[in-house]
A and B are shown apart, each in its own frame.
Chain A
Amino acid sequence: MATPCEADLNNALAGGVEQYFQIANFEIHQDEIFLENSDRYIMLRKSAIAAFETLGIPSRMSEEWKYTNVAKALKRAWVQFPLKTEKLTENDIRSCLIPGLDAHILVFLNGIRVPFTESDSNHEVVRDFGEFISNSNVSPMDNESDAFDALNLAFANDGAIINIPDNSVLDKPLYLLYISSHDDNLFVQNRNVIDIGKNSEATIIEARISLSSNNDFQVFSNNVTEIRCANNSNLDHYQFQIKGQSTTASINKYLVKQEADSTYTSTNINLGGQLVRNNVEVVHEGEGCETNLSGLYHLISDQHLDNHTLIDHKMPNCNSNELYIGILDDHSTGVFNGKVLVRKDAQKTNAFQSNKNILLTDDAKMNAKPQLEIYADDVKCSHGATTGQMNQEALFYLRSRGISKKLAQTMLMEAFMKEVLDKIKIEELKNFLTNILELRLNISH
């Protein structure tokens, strides 16, 4: 039995590209679903619905979605708020933990936060979602906004609200674990807010793990994370997605606002998900900011990954570095769309961007669109994009020393990926991901 709201959502999504989101019944049912919401939040949700109705689901005609057909992935009957609560055993959760890593742990099951016995989920940095959103300064959605952001604001009813107070250092990494386990087509939307106070420092790890083994059903998650790095703060942000190659699709949006002298470092490792779109938008609102974005992907079967980044250099004396590296196997498709925007006042900007890809088969595809849009003259900006196959000479070198072809290829791929893996500062996380990658490379080759 679908609730009225689910019916609306399905109405909306089933229409695909042509038919816009119709949520005529939204107002009638809002009270049932968002009982605890304040007037302000309801107003926000209404503005978001209106915006989404106008914007519609982006088609490939839209420049930003040129290489990703999201409408196709949405054509299913979705359940938004599962009535039956899945139960996770402690062992289930344990299987998703990073061996040896001591961390604060927050667990979300199918988009809803669930208690985890060992975790200190009531840690002082975590706020209540409903309460926070109601009082937050999220601005109403307008027709300029992004359709999926609007959809998220309209329906999201849980998320991680993290607040690191001024002048403090989070003692150990915060591990946000999003688990999906379902026997239905599930549409999950979380809205996270991460606020790093002045002179503060934190490390946050986000993991998306699918525990479903039933390939008939999909989970589509549309997440938005708003991040603010206050003056002189430092956020080390890791995201990884493993498993769910045929059962999960996700759109992850990260909106990062950096104030003066702050550092935001994001490392994204993508191995899972059938269709994944990462939107990272970083805005420099003060001088002296530093932004480091890196990404690593290894795609197999028919996986599709679209990494979209925008670095908006609004202020002078800021630096940004981007490095996205990937290996594409089987029928997979990779997309990299990185834009560096240097506004008129952003003098003395240094912006570097690099995207490197290896294609392993003739059915794999890579579409890259690195862009520079520069309105200031005293800047140093560059980007590079390469796509090719494994270095044949290096392969020959290894082979001539008696190394089997398979091993030689694996060695070269590992070396290629090392550039991003080496950026992971948490040893346990690095080992964990390296092991998964090695296993994967050995299986697929």
Chain B
Amino acid sequence: MNGKNEILKAVTQQDYKYGFVSKFDSDKAPVGLNEDIIRLISSKKKEPKWLLDIRLKAFKHWLTLMDKEPAWAHIHYPKINFQDIIYYAAPKKKKELNSLDEVDPEMLKTFDKLGISIEEQKKLSGVAVDVVIDSVSVKTTFKDTLAKLGIIFCSFSEAVQEHPELVKKYMGSVVPYTDNFYAALNSAVFTDGSFCYIPKGVRCPMELSTYFRINEANTGQFERTLLIAEEGSYVSYLEGCTAPMRDENQLHAAVVELIAYKDAEIKYSTVQNWYPGNKEGKGGIFNFVTKRGICKGEHSKISWTQVETGSAITWKYPSVILKGDYSVGEFYSIALTNNFQQADTGTKMLHIGKNTTSTIISKGVSAGKSNNSYRGLVRISKSASNARNFSQCDSLLLSSECGAHTFPYIEINNKTAIVEHEATTSKVGEDQIFYCNQRGLDTEQAISMIVNGYCKEVLKKLPMEFAVEAQKLLSLSLEGSVG
């Protein structure tokens, strides 16, 4: 079993490879949060008054929640001082940019390090990328190509300027600022994010992608993503996240809203690799994210796929409101926690329409001294006749000091519902390792294979480019010990 221990050691001791800090000038707001800061953010972004009003309303609501920070999740962390955070930090814009040549070379270097060389992406893989650094969108590629099809893919701030009617109509319609503590905070202080609109009947010809990066120290990142798929449209959207290594904890509180009309399909994939903190559990990102989609029309479909390997704390429940008849919700998740990481993640499937179906596949892998929880809700409303849900939540334990937990909530109010939930927890089976050993694979390869096989069901749901990255992320540590 020596080899196995090495692997586990390697998993526990893997270094974070995105921990660089880019040195570009940035424009920061003073530390702290009050109405003036919100006005400052709003004026910096040249926002219309209605948006400032929403921000202020959200802030007022947030103040009433001050002592109601959610505490129900299976996570422990020091109390966050919300007055100790910089709520706005933008890479300084020197002038308007027209081509990549004009972009700050330091920034281009950042992209390279992130492994998302924009040019390369543009030419080779045909993925349209929106890069958000410290919550300000710095680059959107392929915008013109998409515009020809009527697709709007731009930063949130741009959308506010150019498509205010759409933003006004949809922002907060799925996640209102009253939804929860972090949604209220985000609604008050969000600085940028991505906006995407797919018109009726358009099938988006390429993957849309956003990279989020926190760069400045002491800043929080609060971005908002709004994605609207009109009748009969299709879009696949990817999201990736990284952050530098710092000793203090940084806060990330995002809101993602998806709206799918009749026959529309949205596929939303996330590879979350925020800095998880060091081996002693110091530093790392606190990731408190509210993600929710609504299947408004008949036969609409929203599918969430996530690979969560980063963040010191993950608090995230991508949900689907299945309002339209025959709508479909899916949630595929891999959550890997290491060292002192804590993840409390899952989904909510709210069945309202008739003949709605949902599938939940959650794979948790815990190593080191981490804790990994699945928390999910499946609610079949009285109106949701013939609803169908299947949930499977598996946990794999790689060390004797970690924890794996499952907290599903199942609420059935209609007799025609068929709901199944199953969960298992176990370690890598010795018989499975033995089987592989017998066939000439060493223990390292065997464990790598078993972990990968265990996650396969979810990995195969990712778009190809991401699947490769995700697989690398998962097996990086395992490979490290081979040879």
Contacts and interface: CB of A to CB of B under 8 A. Distances in A.
B325 to A, nearest CB: 17
A435 interface: no
Q: How large is the interface on B (under 10, 10 to 19, 20 to 34, 35 or more residues)?
A: 35 or more
Contact of B405 (A63, A373, A385): A373
Contact of A362 (B72, B408, B415): B415
Contacts of B74: 373
A359 B412 contact: yes
Interface in B396-433: 397-427
B382 interface: yes
Contact of B421 (A344, A373, A379, A384): A384
B369 to A, nearest CB: 10
The A interface, classified by DSSP as helix, strand, loop or mixed, is strand
B406 A372 contact: yes
A389 B412 CA distance: 11
Interface in A354-368: 357, 359-362, 364-368
Given A362-B414, A375-B403, A376-B400, A369 B419 contact: no
B395 interface: yes
B424 A381 contact: yes
B397 A367 contact: no
Contact of B406 (A357, A362, A371): A371
Interface string B436-462: 000000000000000000000000000
B410 A369 contact: yes
A165 interface: no
Contacts of B424: 380-382
Interface in A32-66: 63
B412 A63 contact: no
A387 B425 contact: no
Contact of A383 (B406, B413, B419, B427): B406
A369 B425 contact: no
Nearest to B74: A373
A374 B393 CA distance: 14
A362 B382 contact: yes
Contacts of B395: 372, 374
A375 to B, nearest CB: 5
B412 A384 contact: no
A242 B85 CA distance: 60
A369 B407 contact: yes
A387 B419 contact: yes
Contacts of B72: 63
A379 B425 contact: yes
Given A372-B425, A381-B426, A361 B415 contact: yes
A377 B422 contact: no
A422 interface: no
Contact of A389 (B400, B404, B415): B415
A376 to B, nearest CB: 6
A383 B423 contact: yes
Contacts of B415: 359-362, 364, 389
A381 B406 CA distance: 11
Nearest to A349: B425
Interface of B: 72, 74, 382, 395, 397-427
9 A-B pairs closest in CB distance: A377-B397, A359-B415, A388-B418, A368-B410, A384-B422, A382-B424, A372-B406, A381-B425, A385-B421
